[in-house]
């Protein structure tokens, strides 16, 4: 195994197998992955901060087995920041917190290509700082259908005086976020609210939308997964890479930009590659900044 | 396309891969009745019900379990199920071609059609025509839901029909019921052959109408004349449940959104 | 071993009147799952729920309706449906004989073995005649208050009865509305050559349900508390229409 040593902020990291191609059909090595996360770090780190990371590791690349790891790997340098969470039945568990660049590089060296985080921070695990609508196309539907649903959802939410923000899932869907950032909000609220919204959407657009999880309802429709609004669930973090053939990013888009791209009628236009994600972020800044600061209150709850 | 896809993936032979969807080829020809509540004729819906909480359980709260002891289950997720044979859950790989005449019809289980997905039309057509020309069918294994099927894919009137086959271990041996006597009287046989010859015809399934269906439809027609149909009480399907203010605000907003679009 | 006899009757046509017993020919075994409630793993039951009251309705409060227009039903009594039941009969009546290859597999539904009953004279003669003439008898019989359409055939020295689907149960290829794409003779020729190269005799014994074994393994593994690796389903890249000929040529070179 080849090793390279680097020093970040006085912490010594041993990086392994940098030449290993983890996206073999595209050609993207671990060194490329580390470089992507280094450049995107200023944008992704505020969104990862103090959230219990779920690692999704692809030690042999995206075409091979992967492992979900909620527990922070035990073989870790002593400077790795962790938090203690209560697992089900009160069992305690240490989780990783990605609060700085060295932590980010460390987990990427473990080939955790995808970074998944809960909607709440470890200090207040029952307080979601946002509400999410995970738009997932069933068989026969695609990301363009998701975009149609996203636009209706945006308009509907704005009638309720709620601003929403959208990112690509990096797979086939879209994620619409509503920033909340109020300590009074509970997952019970976000779940109740998002469920009603999803059901009203389904009722009004029965050929396009379903709010039901079961696969048989999802054919040729967009499933609005409101059940992600749960303290036990995680979402792929904005700016995270996805483990697909190509290194595609879960990337925020301006609504106007989504309209323009969807208007071209080609689903692949809505897949943002690593290089484009970096150049967009460096040019436009963090389009998801509102998720960190904007306070919004639910009406009618 | 009229039929809803049961499955979507790729069918392949050698290096050619064709995106396809699996659709139904048969539908039970029964007269379909709706079950109603005798009180007010509300329609009844089949739902999963929790006997302990006495509650309808929504789909997102249902999981799959394998029973290992009384009330003890091992939970298996969709992803885990798909991981069992990942090479076969989205691909029908034709491993070899066979002459359908060699297949004992006892192996046939259930028929489906395959239809091409976007971009696959040409390669689909090629497989249809080349199999028709060579009189061959493709043999493949693939996983659908919780089972792995051995299937024959054949050309049928310009389409691909996929027929699931039984595994040989599912075909029960017939030795124990075979006749004790092995002899057959030549004279009897030749008389039977004459009978058969006189009765030879072309197979025309339309000739044998579904008698039961006809009879039931007649009964229904007669009843409809004699008595006015009952009317079910109006139920809005799957009413949205939630805080009343929120639901009505959402409905009102939705109306506005729809109007502006 | 063939399953136990489920019905008895007589094959009847011309001067043939042959007593036989029906046996199931297929036995399927599979891993059985239950549906559970996520939070407490209580086994769920399927029930008929009143759309209005959202409560389960007991069997005795359920009635059968035929929808004549939206929301309007004709209520049908089970006794009335009995009129549609066929008269019980013990005759497997053969109406026509056809060449076996004329019956498309799409019609085949369920296979039974026929065992000669006592005094079944001519069983072997009938089986022999059907095989030699490559014929199948199209017949009807009544079992469990239903009339079945069937094909009477022979395999080896055993007679078989295969239930056939009615033509209104088979969805027509036409309804699939497939577009016809023109193909070049060259593409077809290479495609056919490739198929011929890849042809092998049908050997059903070669195949077993490996998935079933692997599934049981996974359950055992999970029961022992081991971690399950999640594998992504393999997906193939579709062959582009303009690459079809080239792909066929490369394929043929590989096998020829």
Nearest-CA distance C77 → chain B (Å):
11
* B246 at interface of A, judged by CB pairs closer than 8 A: yes
Q: How far apart, in whole angstroms, are the C-alpha atoms of residue C176 and residue B120?
A: 15
Which candidate from C3, C104, C116 shows the least CB-CB separation from B179? C116
A299 vs B249: CB contact, 8 Å cut-off?
yes
Which candidate from A212, A219, A227 shows the least CB-CB separation from B4? A219
Nearest-CA distance B204 → chain C (Å):
9
B touches which chains (3+ CB pairs under 8 A)? A, C
**What pLDDT shows up at residue C51?**
77
**What pLDDT shows up at residue A260?**
94
**Top-level class of domain A3-117:** alpha beta
Task: Find out whether A189 and A299 touch, Cβ atoms under 8 Å.
Answer: no
CB atoms within 10 A of CB A266: 12
User: What mean pLDDT do residues C160-176 have?
Assistant: 91
**What pLDDT shows up at residue B2?**
45
**Top-level class of domain A130-234+242-293:** alpha beta
* C236 at interface of A, judged by CB pairs closer than 8 A: no
Task: Find out whether A234 and A116 touch, Cβ atoms under 8 Å.
Answer: yes
Nearest-CA distance B257 → chain A (Å):
6
Contacts of A227 in chain C (CB under 8 A): none
B205 vs C34: CB contact, 8 Å cut-off?
no
B213 vs C168: CB contact, 8 Å cut-off?
yes
ipTM of the complex: 0.87
Contacts of A213 in chain B (CB under 8 A): 58-60
Nearest-CA distance C91 → chain B (Å):
17
CATH number of B7-26+92-171: 2.40.290.10
Which candidate from B96, B206, B210 shows the least CB-CB separation from C198? B96
User: What mean pLDDT do residues C239-254 have?
Assistant: 90
Q: CATH 3.30.70.3300 in chain A, residues?
A: 130-234+242-293
Task: Find out whether C178 and B48 touch, Cβ atoms under 8 Å.
Answer: no
Which candidate from C1, C21, C73 shows the least CB-CB separation from B229? C73
**What pLDDT shows up at residue C98?**
95
Of B234 and A78, the structure prediction assigns the larger pLDDT to A78
C touches which chains (3+ CB pairs under 8 A)? A, B
Which candidate from A152, A214, A300 shows the least CB-CB separation from B257? A152
- SS3 state at C189: helix
Question: Shortest CA distance to B146 belongs to which of C225, A215, A213?
Answer: A215
B146 vs C208: CB contact, 8 Å cut-off?
no
Q: How far apart, in whole angstroms, are the C-alpha atoms of residue A198 and residue A192?
A: 10
Nearest-CA distance C237 → chain A (Å):
11
Q: How far apart, in whole angstroms, are the C-alpha atoms of residue A179 and residue A191?
A: 14
Contacts of A233 in chain C (CB under 8 A): none
- Token pair of B206, please? 């339309």
Nearest-CA distance A31 → chain C (Å):
24
Q: CATH 2.40.290.10 in chain C, residues?
A: 1-53+64-171
Q: Least CA distance to B243: which residue of chain A?
A: A301
Which residues are bridge partners to A284 per DSSP? none
Q: How far apart, in whole angstroms, are the C-alpha atoms of residue B89 and residue B82?
A: 6
A65 vs C227: CB contact, 8 Å cut-off?
no
Contacts of B58 in chain A (CB under 8 A): 212-213
Q: Least CA distance to A243: which residue of chain C?
A: C232
Q: Give the DSSP letter of residue A184.
A: T
Question: Shortest CA distance to B42 belongs to which of C61, A206, A204?
Answer: C61
- Token pair of A279, please? 């150049």
**What pLDDT shows up at residue A85?**
82
Contacts of A219 in chain B (CB under 8 A): 4-5
User: What mean pLDDT do residues B235-239 have?
Assistant: 53
Out of A159-173, C23-37, C49-63, C177-191, give the one with best mean pLDDT: A159-173
Nearest-CA distance C235 → chain B (Å):
6
* C227 at interface of A, judged by CB pairs closer than 8 A: yes
Contacts of A193 in chain B (CB under 8 A): 246
Which candidate from B156, B168, B179 shows the least CB-CB separation from C104? B156
**What pLDDT shows up at residue B228?**
78
Q: Give the DSSP letter of residue B31.
A: P
In chain A, which stretches have pLDDT less than 50?
none
Could you say which residues from 34 to 63 on chain A have a Cβ atom under 8 Å away from some Cβ of chain C?
Answer: 63
* B147 at interface of A, judged by CB pairs closer than 8 A: no
- Spell out a b/e string for C227-248, using b for 16 or more CB atoms within 10 Å of the CB, else e: eeebbbbbebebbeeeebbebb
- Token pair of C116, please? 């000669």
| Model pTM above 0.80 | no
Contacts of C231 in chain B (CB under 8 A): 82-83, 86
B242 vs A192: CB contact, 8 Å cut-off?
yes
Contacts of A196 in chain B (CB under 8 A): 240-243, 246-247, 250
User: What mean pLDDT do residues C13-29 have?
Assistant: 89
User: What mean pLDDT do residues B89-114 have?
Assistant: 92
Contacts of B231 in chain C (CB under 8 A): 71-73
**What pLDDT shows up at residue A50?**
95
> Per residue in B170-211, pLDDT tens?
999 888 888 877 777 888 889 999 999 999 999 988 888 777
CB within 8 A of A274, min separation 6: which ones? A28, A32, A36, A241, A247, A248, A249
CA angle B143, C166, B36 (to 5 degrees): 80
C229 vs A66: CB contact, 8 Å cut-off?
yes
B8 vs A140: CB contact, 8 Å cut-off?
yes
B18 vs C133: CB contact, 8 Å cut-off?
no
* C35 at interface of A, judged by CB pairs closer than 8 A: no
Say yes or no to pLDDT of B237 above 70. no
Contacts of A195 in chain B (CB under 8 A): 242
C195 vs B13: CB contact, 8 Å cut-off?
yes
Say yes or no to pLDDT of B1 above 50. no
> Per residue in A156-166, pLDDT tens?
999 999 999 99
Q: Band the pLDDT of C2: cuts 50, 70, 90.
A: low
Residue to mutate among C232, C233, C235, with most A CBs inside 10 A, is C232
Q: CATH 3.90.920.10 in chain A, residues?
A: 3-117
C219 vs B9: CB contact, 8 Å cut-off?
no
**What pLDDT shows up at residue A23?**
95
User: What mean pLDDT do residues C222-251 have?
Assistant: 87
Q: Band the pLDDT of B31: cuts 50, 70, 90.
A: confident
The third-level CATH classification (topology) of the domain covering C1-53+64-171 is Ku70; Chain: A; Domain 2 (2.40.290)
Task: Find out whether B85 and C210 touch, Cβ atoms under 8 Å.
Answer: yes
B8 vs A204: CB contact, 8 Å cut-off?
no
**What pLDDT shows up at residue A279?**
96
A139 vs B254: CB contact, 8 Å cut-off?
no
A touches which chains (3+ CB pairs under 8 A)? B, C
**What pLDDT shows up at residue B28?**
78
Say yes or no to pLDDT of B233 above 70. no
Which residues are bridge partners to B43 per DSSP? B36
- Token pair of B152, please? 């024959």
Dihedral sign, Cα of residue C228, residue C229, residue C230, residue C235: negative
Beta strands A222-225 and A130-137, pairing class: antiparallel
Say yes or no to pLDDT of C227 above 90. no
- SS3 state at A292: helix
* C229 at interface of A, judged by CB pairs closer than 8 A: yes
User: What mean pLDDT do residues C45-58 have?
Assistant: 85
Q: Least CA distance to A228: which residue of chain B?
A: B60
């Amino acid at each position: 195994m080849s090793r390279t040593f680097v020093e970040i902020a006085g912490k010594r990291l041993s990086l392994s197998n940098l030449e290993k191609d983890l996206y073999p059909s595209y050609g993207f090595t671990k060194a490329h992955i580390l470089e992507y996360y280094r450049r995107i770090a200023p944008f992704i780190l505020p969104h990862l901060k103090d959230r219990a990371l779920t690692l999704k590791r692809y030690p042999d690349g995206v075409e091979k087995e992967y492992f979900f790891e909620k527990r922070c790997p035990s073989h870790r340098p002593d400077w790795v920041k962790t938090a203690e969470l209560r697992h089900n039945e009160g069992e305690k568990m240490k989780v990783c917190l990605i609060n700085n660049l060295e932590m980010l590089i460390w987990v990427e060296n473990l080939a955790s290509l995808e970074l998944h985080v809960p909607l709440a921070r470890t200090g207040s695990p029952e307080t979601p700082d946002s509400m999410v609508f995970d738009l997932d196309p069933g068989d026969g539907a695609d990301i363009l259908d998701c975009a149609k649903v996203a636009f209706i959802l945006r308009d509907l939410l704005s009638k309720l005086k709620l601003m929403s923000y959208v990112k690509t899932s990096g797979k086939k869907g879209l994620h619409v976020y509503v920033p909340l950032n109020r300590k009074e909000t509970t997952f019970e609220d976000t779940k109740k609210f998002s469920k009603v919204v999803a059901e009203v959407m389904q009722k009004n657009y029965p050929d396009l939308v379903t709010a039901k999880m079961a696969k048989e309802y999802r054919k040729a429709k967009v499933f609005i997964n409101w059940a992600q609004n749960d303290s036990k669930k995680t979402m792929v973090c904005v700016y995270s890479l996805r483990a697909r053939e190509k290194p595609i990013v879960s990337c925020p888009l301006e609504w106007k930009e989504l309209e323009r791209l969807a208007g071209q009628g080609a689903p692949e236009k809505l897949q943002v590659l690593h290089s484009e994600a970096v150049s967009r972020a460096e040019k436009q800044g963090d389009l998801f900044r509102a998720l960190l600061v904007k306070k919004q209150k639910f009406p009618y709850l | 396309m009229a039929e809803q896809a049961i499955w979507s993936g790729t069918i392949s032979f050698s290096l050619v891969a064709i995106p396809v969807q699996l659709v139904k080829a048969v539908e039970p020809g029964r007269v379909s009745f709706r079950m109603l509540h005798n009180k007010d004729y509300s329609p009844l819906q089949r739902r999963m019900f929790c006997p302990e909480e006495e509650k309808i359980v929504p789909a997102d709260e249902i999981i799959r379990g394998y029973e290992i002891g009384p009330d003890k289950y091992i939970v298996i997720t969709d992803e885990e199920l798909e991981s069992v044979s990942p090479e076969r859950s989205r691909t029908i790989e034709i491993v070899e071609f066979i002459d359908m005449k060699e297949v004992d019809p006892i192996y046939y289980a259930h028929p489906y059609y395959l239809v091409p997905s976007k971009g696959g039309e040409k390669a689909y057509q090629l497989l249809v025509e080349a199999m028709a020309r060579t009189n061959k069918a493709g043999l493949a294994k693939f996983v659908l839901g919780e089972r792995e099927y051995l299937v024959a894919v054949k050309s049928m009137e310009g389409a691909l029909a996929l027929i699931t086959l039984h595994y040989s271990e599912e075909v029960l041996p017939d030795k124990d019921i075979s006749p004790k006597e092995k002899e057959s009287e030549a004279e009897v046989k030749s008389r039977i052959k004459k009978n058969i010859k006189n009765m030879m015809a072309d197979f025309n399934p339309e000739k044998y109408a579904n008698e039961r269906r006809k009879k039931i439809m007649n009964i229904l027609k007669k009843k409809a004349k004699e008595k006015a149909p009952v009317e079910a009480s109006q139920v809005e399907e799957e009413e949205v449940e939630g805080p009343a203010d929120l639901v009505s605000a959402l409905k009102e907003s939705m109306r506005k959104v729809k109007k502006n679009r | 071993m063939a399953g136990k006899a489920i019905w008895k009757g007589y094959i009847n046509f011309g001067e043939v009147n042959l007593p036989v017993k029906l046996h199931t020919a297929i036995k399927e075994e599979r891993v059985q799952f239950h549906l559970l409630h996520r939070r407490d793993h209580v086994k769920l039951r399927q029930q008929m729920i009143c759309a209005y009251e959202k409560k389960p309705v007991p069997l005795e409060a359920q009635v059968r309706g035929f929808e004549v227009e939206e929301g309007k039903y004709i209520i049908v009594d089970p006794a009335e449906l009995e009129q549609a039941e066929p008269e019980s009969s013990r005759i497997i009546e053969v109406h026509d004989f056809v060449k076996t290859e004329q019956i498309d597999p799409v019609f085949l539904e369920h296979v039974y073995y026929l065992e000669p009953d006592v005094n079944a004279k001519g069983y072997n003669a009938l089986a022999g005649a059907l095989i030699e003439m490559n014929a199948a008898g199209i017949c009807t019989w009544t079992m469990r208050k239903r009339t079945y359409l069937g094909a009477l055939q022979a395999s080896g020295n055993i007679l078989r009865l295969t239930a056939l689907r009615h033509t209104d149960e088979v969805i027509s290829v036409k309804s699939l509305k497939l577009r016809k794409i023109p193909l070049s003779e060259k593409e077809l020729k290479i495609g056919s050559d490739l198929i011929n190269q890849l042809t092998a005799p049908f050997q059903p014994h070669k195949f077993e349900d490996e998935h079933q074994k692997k599934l049981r393994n996974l359950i055992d593994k999970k029961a022992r508390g081991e971690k399950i690796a999640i594998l992504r389903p393999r997906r193939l890249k579709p062959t582009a229409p303009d690459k079809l000929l080239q792909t066929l040529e490369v394929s043929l070179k590989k096998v020829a």
